[in-house]
Amino acid sequence: MIQDHLDIILIAIVTASACALPGVFLVLRRMTLMSDAISHAILPGIVLAFFLTHNISSPLLILAAAATGVLTVVFVELLQKTKLVKEDAAIGLVFPALFSIGVILISRFASNVHLDTDAVLLGELAYARFNRLEIFGYDIGPISFSVMGGMLLLNLAFILIFYKELKLATFDASLAATLGFAPTLIHYGLMTLVSMTTVGAFDAVGSILVVALIAGPPATAYLMTDSLARMLILSVIIGCVNAVSGYLLAYPFGVSIAGTIATVTFLVFGLIFLIVPNRGLIAIARRHIRQKWEFAQTMLVIHLFNHEGLPEAHEESEIAHLHEHLQWEPTFATRVVKQALNNRYVSQEATQLMLTDRGRSIAQRALVQ
Amino acid sequence: MENLHFLTRFDYTLIIVALGAALLGTVSGALGTYAVLRRQSLLGDAISHAALPGIVIAFMLTGSKTPLILVLGAAIAGWLGTLIILSIVRLTRIKYDSAFSLVLSTFFGFGLVLLTQIQRNGDANQAGLDDFIFGQAATMLKRDVLTIGILGGFALVIMLILWKELKLLVFDEGFAASIGFPTRVLDILLTSLFVIAIVIGLQAVGAVLMSAMLVAPAVAARQWTDKISLMVLLAACFGALAGVSGTFISSIAVGIPTGPTIILCATVIVGFSIAFAPNRGLLWNSIRQHRNRRSLKIATAKLIGAAATKNQIKNDTRPS
């Protein structure tokens, strides 16, 4: 029983990590839509390879799917090159067409075999562990684990070896081209890996939810850091946390594991989006509020400064009349005065406000700006 | 007599399905024009996937599979998903594509969770809900066609009423805002029209493929004309054509699903348009290039010839 859980959790972890790594580059290169397209378009590749091998877990399926994935990218780019169709429309044309071919092939010729659209599109982690890999009669674990483990190592190796090239091609493709780094080659390398990862993962999570694994954790990590290396590590960690907690949540209710992982991915993104320092919603809202009060205090000292030493100063610095001069709500004015007193921008003498040296310098600085 | 013979070959169900598909193609073709021109072609993909939890929740709350109720649920969820995408883009540095992929896949995932939940509870009535993922045009009934017709017609009427405003929004949003059109409201309204066009087709074509119905007819129509009114009209016709031809082709043999066939028909129309449309099409372009090259060659030859004669004359008249 423990072994069953462990199997599923291990598959979930390697799948999430293998998807998050290339996902980082897709998010940074604004190409996650391509992973969405590839994940649908590989269907005819899988089906054709299945007709050839009659084996759902043959490695040929992964190769055929990867080839179809790269073909999708080529088709989209060819369509764009005619200049008759924009990029978004090109993607929107190519993948439904390929997907339709796949669906028709399945329902026309393979309706009685173990290959239905549900399985490819939706996947089910709980069943992934039943397909086990046996070598010389020894059970060495589920096939999914080996496949996704292999993909994880391959992705990791690609990123480590070509880290510099990937970084340059991602952030400044034209510089990379001038320096002779062949960004096109890197681009197709990345697309091949995305295709292979996607098809490797369909067994476990299905091809729509693989998009959640590819785009979700990197998008979340992108909110948290400015460094590529840190973003890669964070994405893998977030991906694993999402996958494991998704499984633990799904298990007691018996609902779709992949679906729950996707749901958790969205919730984690939302949570990080709320609480992350500097860029989070809460941080933004707090900054707005702080700026509002700071601005009001600056207005107050400028007002006092403008009338300082002039005949009307006595009238203008009367605390009870301030709100009329500055056209504020009386309660708002009281709070601003209180804050300015606390900050020692002003001092109170009887019913009047007097600028302190500090307040005067703030007013001067604000006016110069 | 011959007419009657013709009719019996196409039975009643087939005609209902074809009618539904034609209506669907008309609505999504016409509205898709705006999506393609605004470069929001993939918005349909997000809406159709994000609609799934809405469909399931609508069923869970009401226990009925009345098309109108399910479509309403789908519309609310699809609309919410689009709104979240737009807010993520506005409030963070995350780009459109990532926000889009995130919302699309996670909403769909949540829909799956709910779907597996009610399937586990053994509610026999839920059968057919997963039609919304892959589409099941063959099960289309008269009431489904009626729903498509009413909602689609409503969307088209709104489009016609706001014709001028939407045209301005598509081509010059900045100008529209500067002369006082509420662009934000119009933007949301147009998105809502997309939502209607998408959700009415979900049951027939399925979430995965419905987005193509928004894109393909419009892209095909774009090749034939530069006028938006003509493009809307053509796209509607192409959509209807794809719907009807897809339905009939899929009825020829057993085991050809209708939804994907409709999409393939639409793709063929796009391919034909890109290849053969006058002025813009590939064939036309290559002929023009060929012609240009030849006239350039002739012109150069003439120039060289003229220069040579000129030199000749110069040389001849030069005093020796």
For position A264, which CATH number holds?
1.10.3470.10
Statement to judge: residues B156 and B290 lie in one domain:
no
Q: C-alpha A261: how far from its chain's center?
A: 15
Statement to judge: residues B170 and B190 lie in one domain:
yes
**Total domains, chain B:** 2
What's the whole-model pTM score?
0.82
Statement to judge: residues A140 and A159 lie in one domain:
yes
Contacts of B216 in chain A (CB under 8 A): 92-93, 96
Q: What is the DSSP string of A252-285?
A: HHT--HHHHHHHHHHHHHHHHHHH-TTTSHHHHH
Which residue from A89, A208, A260 is facing B219, i.e. has the nearest CB? A89
pLDDT > 70 in chain A, percent: 90
Q: What is the phi/psi pair of residue A138, to 5°?
A: -95, 135
Statement to judge: residues B134 and B266 lie in one domain:
yes
- Closest C-alpha among A214, A202, A198 to residue A120: A202
Q: With cut-offs at 50, 70 and 90, classify the pLDDT of residue A312.
A: confident
Does position A28 have pLDDT exceeding 60, yes or no? yes
Domain containing B167: what range? 2-280
Statement to judge: residues B240 and B296 lie in one domain:
no
The arithmetic mean of pLDDT across residues A96-124, rounded, is: 71
Least confident of A53-67, A178-192, B153-167, B181-195: A53-67
Which pLDDT score is estimated for A56?
Answer: 66
Statement to judge: residues A256 and A311 lie in one domain:
no
- Report CB contact under 8 Å: B98, A32: yes
CA distances from B308 to A206, B297, B299, B302, B319 (A): 72, 16, 14, 10, 19
Which pLDDT score is estimated for A220?
Answer: 94
Nearest Cα of chain A lies from the Cα of B310 at a distance, in angstroms, of 43
Statement to judge: residues B161 and B236 lie in one domain:
yes
Statement to judge: residues B298 and B259 lie in one domain:
no
Does position A127 have pLDDT exceeding 80, yes or no? no
Domain boundary among A277, A293, A318: A277
Domain boundary among A253, A277, A301: A277
Statement to judge: residues B155 and B56 lie in one domain:
yes
Domain containing A211: what range? 2-277
Statement to judge: residues B236 and B290 lie in one domain:
no
Give the CATH number for residue B264: 1.10.3470.10
Statement to judge: residues A245 and A316 lie in one domain:
no
Chain A residue nearest residue B106, CA to CA: A262
- Report CB contact under 8 Å: B39, A88: yes
- Give me the residues of chain B with pLDDT under 50, please: 1-7
Domain boundary among A218, A252, A277: A277
Statement to judge: residues A92 and A142 lie in one domain:
yes
Statement to judge: residues A262 and A292 lie in one domain:
no
- The one-character DSSP state at A85 is S
Nearest Cα of chain B lies from the Cα of A116 at a distance, in angstroms, of 11
CB-count exposure of residue B60 (10 Å: 0-12, 13-18, 19+): middle
Do residues B130 and A265 lie in contact, with contact meaning Cβ atoms separated by under 8 Å?
A: no
Statement to judge: residues A83 and A172 lie in one domain:
yes
State pLDDT tens for residues B54-63: 988 998 888 8
Statement to judge: residues A187 and A318 lie in one domain:
no
Do residues A266 and A242 lie in contact, with contact meaning Cβ atoms separated by under 8 Å?
A: no
**Total domains, chain A:** 2
Chain B residue nearest residue A98, CA to CA: B264
Does position A120 have pLDDT exceeding 70, yes or no? no
Which pLDDT score is estimated for A244?
Answer: 92
Does position A175 have pLDDT exceeding 80, yes or no? yes
Statement to judge: residues A237 and A303 lie in one domain:
no
Statement to judge: residues A90 and A130 lie in one domain:
yes
Contacts of B197 in chain A (CB under 8 A): none
Statement to judge: residues A288 and A271 lie in one domain:
no
